[in-house]
Amino acid sequence: MARECIVCGKGTQTKNNVSHAKNRSKKRIFPNLQRVNVKIVGQTFSVMVCTRCLKSGRIEKAATTKTVL
């Protein structure tokens, strides 16, 4: 599964780790993605969404139903 937000398309970035001696090695920066149940056209899907989209209310979360015994 790709590490990408389905709403805004935010994904991994590649940058350089720079040591004190200025040696450069590649590093990957991952976005803060959360697995959320989302309601799309009446159906519920489990998707990866970044926290910025969650906080701004760009998606409609599906209601979770808990069974009480």
- Domain segments of the chain: what residues? 13-56
Classify domain 13-56 at the CATH topology level.
Ribosomal Protein L24e; Chain: T; (2.30.170)
Q: How much is the pLDDT for 68?
A: 67
Q: Cα separations (Å) of 7 from 11, 23, 28, 52, 68? A: 11, 36, 21, 10, 33
Task: Read off the pLDDT of each residue in 35-49 and give the average, rounded to a whole number.
Answer: 88
Q: How much is the pLDDT for 61?
A: 87
Place of tokens 């906080």: 55
CA 52 to chain centre: 9
Q: How much is the pLDDT for 1?
A: 61
Q: How much is the pLDDT for 60?
A: 84
Q: Which amino acid is at 56?
A: S
Tell which wins on pLDDT, 65 or 56: 56
